[in-house]
Amino acid sequence: MINEHLPALVIGLPLLAAFATPLVSKINDKLRNIFVIGILGITLYLVYSLLCNVLNDGIFVYVMGARSTGLTLPSGYKMPVRIILEADAMSVFMAITTAVISLIGAIYSWAFMDKETGKDKFYTLLLILTAGMFGMELTGDMFNFFVFLEITSIAACGLVGFRITRGESSEAAFKTMVLYTLGALFVLFAVGILYGEYDALNIATLASRIQYTMLDKIALGLLLTGLAMKAGAVPMHMWVPDAYAEAPAPVSLVLVVNTQAGLYGLFRVLFSLYGASLSTQTVGWILIILGVLSMFVGVTMALIQDKLKRLIAYGAVSQIGYMLLGVGVGLATLNTPALQEYGMRAMEGSIFHVINDAMYKGLLFLTAGAVIYCTGKRNLNEISGLAHDMKFTSIFFIIGAGAIAGLPPFNGFASKLIIYESVYKFNPMLSVIAILVSILTLAIFVKIFQSAFLGPKLLDVKKEPRSMVLAMLVLSIIVIAFGLFPDVVVDKIVSPAVNALINRMDYITAVLGG
Amino acid sequence: MMSKIVRTITNILYSSILIFGFYIIMHGHLTPGGGFQGGAVVASGIALVLIAYGYDTVRNWFKKSNLSFLESIGALAFIGIAFLGIGTTFFYNFLANSGGLFGDPTVIGINPGNLDTSGVLPLMNWAVGLKVLAGLGSVVLLMAYGIRKGDEE
Amino acid sequence: MIDNLPFIACAILVILGLYTLTFKRNLIKIVIGLNLVESGVNLFLITLGYKSNAVAPIYTMAAKEEMVLPTPQALTLTSIVIGLATTALILSFTILIYKHYKTIDASKVRRLRE
């Protein structure tokens, strides 16, 4: 029975648990921690069974509130009238990343948030953020996407400004909220334009009716701007360093997946909503230019920072550039025979990079959080010689730094090699820029490692708690495993995702019934 | 604390505002309104009392823990009713046209309006209305508390 | 031309809101600019549903049976609720910034950049 209602349960269960958390925490504190971790574990199991279901049986369509779950066109209607959840291979790929990272964030925050007050509101906001991200990834309706986008913005902003004893947190939260809301309002404006033209809000119905008129071009520009603001691409990246630096470390981990959910929205709009009807060369080159700018600006701004988490945050901006680059190449070759040669490989590289980036970027943020928890200092000039006492953290930092720089045998190498090869066939200059940025990233992380972990011992540090070590250990195992067996991952979950993005007709006929 | 005229008018108007807000929540499926609008009207009544009497007096009348409890009840009721229809689909309206509570068949066309129709909708309106009034009331009270502490320093 | 007047009004609201958001330095004025942009977008959504000589879409004792489109009204209601929650959150953070920095001038609230 559960198998019929999987997408609704995946969204509804964290939401129900989020509202029940204040009542559970009145009973006992440890019970609430176990409750949150248990709910996220059950959600991971549900997402895994949804993954198996979609990979075996095709696109999973779920109509909310109808007489039966597949009844998209009730008697006499020619277009769907209810909100439809549509899970295809790309959606469940993002959903399983979200589920794993949220569970690890909850495990890490058992020890990390131990001394703070107001923890029941922290866990409530964390569960609402997770439910919002699942909603963004599994929905098939444009306005529903906007509502979940705003839910994640509000929850993420509340979590960024969580430590109200520091003034800098409130400043970062203010900036984050203004930019998130502005981006979401642009998205709403574009949804309004599309509704006014075609009288439909469902993505599949819009995709079957769309022609590329002048108003559609305006809507595309607004959607691109709004979703790039959420994803942190370069002209609109002001909020990224402040938000990641001031949030507590498990929140930075979940914010990485939040930015990638915005990137997922961009891909869904470009490939499934507009598809081959737009001028793929122009929009593809816009994405490529945004990607190259992000890579370059991110890594050069990171060279001059001296606060630990702000530096890693600029590294996150440059990794977003890799994802935009590969998908831009895929979009630019969409209607040409070059798609089968190297376009699809470029998209596979970028989408594999999405899950890799979540894993190793999360690991780096968690190690930075462990350093700040044990020493109490945030500035790189004041810490030194930590490898003497914090042995586990040093090893995990080496694994994370190797992965982000693209060294074998970690997973960053696998996805970056696919991107280098396929982008080289499109335009060699782009590939050279990508390799240069990779070398600069390696330089940055060697600098952090040398100044923070090696050298003479300067301070007395506390021991790292066990739950933090456990969370970082799980991420490291995933990083090494994806690096040693990349072709298993690419064949099983990345290739179906890329095929689902490119085959627009499957997406439309799953809802409208051919 | 404002002058005697303001406090007297607040005493007279406060119950009318509350009843008007609950009326808007209750008739959400027939006339314009519903959960959010009615909850916002009731919360503006709370804000009126707060402005007229000042934070120190009002603090003992609206306890924050009671408001937070109401908010959790409202939220849980909304999601709980959505889950109750899981036998057919999520958010299924299992009370409409069925003859039970709020179960009269829906009238089509122009009509004077029958309160007993529309199934699950009035229950969800109440859940959302409770949550909104508790949430907005807490926001207004906490902002008054925050500003007051700032004046003292 | 007279039929396009609501669209022109909402374009003016959005442009004024973006100007206030970008060029004013008081934090409260930035919040007001954000509210202006949001009001413009809400006005745009409601104007999309208009039909000539139609009444409000409420069946209780309506005058006639031609009604304007009700879907954009539901979308606008959701957007107003979201805007309310957003404004409440941003204003709470403004109060906290005033407590810590003792000023709400955006060019002085810059401790994170140094």
B contacts of C58 (beta carbons < 8 Å):
31-32
Closest partner residue to B90 (CB to CB) among A8, A22, A68 is A8
Band (pLDDT 50/70/90 cuts) for residue C1 is: confident
Q: What is the pLDDT of residue A455?
A: 80
List Cα–Cα distances, A164 to A212, A242, C99, in angstroms.
48, 15, 10
Of A337, A335, A490, nearest to A425 by C-alpha is A337
A contacts of C71 (beta carbons < 8 Å):
195, 201
Q: Is the per-residue pLDDT at A460 higher than 80?
A: no
- Measured CA to CA, the distance from residue A7 to residue A140 in angstroms comes to 11
Band (pLDDT 50/70/90 cuts) for residue A375 is: confident
Closest partner residue to B146 (CB to CB) among C59, C62, C95 is C95
C contacts of A153 (beta carbons < 8 Å):
86
**Residue B119 burial (10 A CB sphere; 0-12, 13-18, 19+):** buried
pLDDT in tens, A242-274: 999 889 999 999 999 999 999 999 999 999 998
What does the radius of gyration of chain B's CA atoms come to, in whole angstroms? Answer: 19
pLDDT more than 90, % of chain B = 48
Band (pLDDT 50/70/90 cuts) for residue C45 is: very high
Q: Is the per-residue pLDDT at A383 higher than 90?
A: no
B-contacting residues in A 13-72 (Cβ below 8 Å): 15-16, 19-20, 22-23, 62-69
- Measured CA to CA, the distance from residue A316 to residue A247 in angstroms comes to 15
Contact at CB, C92 and B142, closer than 8 angstroms = yes
- Measured CA to CA, the distance from residue B142 to residue A14 in angstroms comes to 27
Q: What is the pLDDT of residue B63?
A: 81
Neighbors of chain A with 3 or more C-beta pairs under 8 Å: B, C
pTM reported for the whole predicted model: 0.95
Instruction: Pick the residue of A2, A4, A10, A19 with the most B CBs within 10 A to test the interface with B by mutation.
Output: A19
Band (pLDDT 50/70/90 cuts) for residue A459 is: confident
- Measured CA to CA, the distance from residue A452 to residue A398 in angstroms comes to 12
- Measured CA to CA, the distance from residue A57 to residue A509 in angstroms comes to 15
Give the minimum alpha-carbon distance from A79 to chain C in angstroms, rounded to a whole number. Answer: 15
Contact at CB, B80 and A65, closer than 8 angstroms = no
pLDDT in tens, A59-102: 899 988 888 877 888 877 888 888 999 999 999 999 999 999 99
ipTM for the complex shown: 0.96
Q: Is the per-residue pLDDT at B152 higher than 70?
A: no
Q: Is the per-residue pLDDT at B153 higher than 60?
A: no
Q: Is the per-residue pLDDT at A458 higher than 80?
A: no
**Residue A491 burial (10 A CB sphere; 0-12, 13-18, 19+):** exposed
- Measured CA to CA, the distance from residue A168 to residue A260 in angstroms comes to 25
On whether any CB of chain C is under 8 Å from the CB of A215, the answer is: no
Q: Which residue has the higher pLDDT, A195 or A513?
A: A195
Determine the structural domain holding residue A164 and report its residue range.
2-512
Of A264, A4, A272, A320, nearest to A134 by C-alpha is A264
Q: What is the pLDDT of residue C114?
A: 58
On whether any CB of chain C is under 8 Å from the CB of A171, the answer is: yes
Q: Is the per-residue pLDDT at A232 higher than 70?
A: yes
Query: DSSP character for A465?
Result: P
Q: Where are the domains of chain C?
A: 2-113
Give the minimum alpha-carbon distance from B38 to chain A in angstroms, rounded to a whole number. Answer: 21
pLDDT in tens, B57-68: 888 888 878 888
Q: What is the pLDDT of residue B151?
A: 64
Q: What is the pLDDT of residue A126?
A: 94
Q: Where are the alpha helices (DSSP H) in chain C?
A: 5-23, 27-47, 71-101
Closest partner residue to A185 (CB to CB) among C38, C48, C85 is C38
Q: Which fold has domain C2-113?
A: Helix Hairpins (1.10.287)
Band (pLDDT 50/70/90 cuts) for residue A228 is: very high
Q: What is the pLDDT of residue A70?
A: 78
Q: Is the per-residue pLDDT at B54 higher than 70?
A: yes
Q: What is the pLDDT of residue A72?
A: 82
- Measured CA to CA, the distance from residue B24 to residue B69 in angstroms comes to 23
pLDDT in tens, A462-493: 888 888 888 999 999 999 999 999 888 888 99
Q: In what helix (H) or strand (E) does residue A66 lie, and over which residues does it extend?
A: none
Q: Give the mean pLDDT of A351-361.
A: 92
Q: Give the mean pLDDT of A204-221.
A: 91
Instruction: Work out how many domains chain B is built from and give that number.
Output: 1
Instruction: Work out how many domains chain A is built from and give that number.
Output: 1
Q: What is the pLDDT of residue B25?
A: 94
Q: What are the phi and psi torsion angles at A85 (to 5°)? A: -100, 130
Contact at CB, A181 and C96, closer than 8 angstroms = no
pLDDT more than 70, % of chain C = 98
Band (pLDDT 50/70/90 cuts) for residue A217 is: very high
pLDDT in tens, A8-42: 999 999 999 999 998 888 888 889 999 999 999 99
Q: Is the per-residue pLDDT at A338 higher than 80?
A: no
Q: Are A471 and A107 in contact (CB under 8 A)?
A: yes
Q: Is the per-residue pLDDT at B108 higher than 70?
A: yes
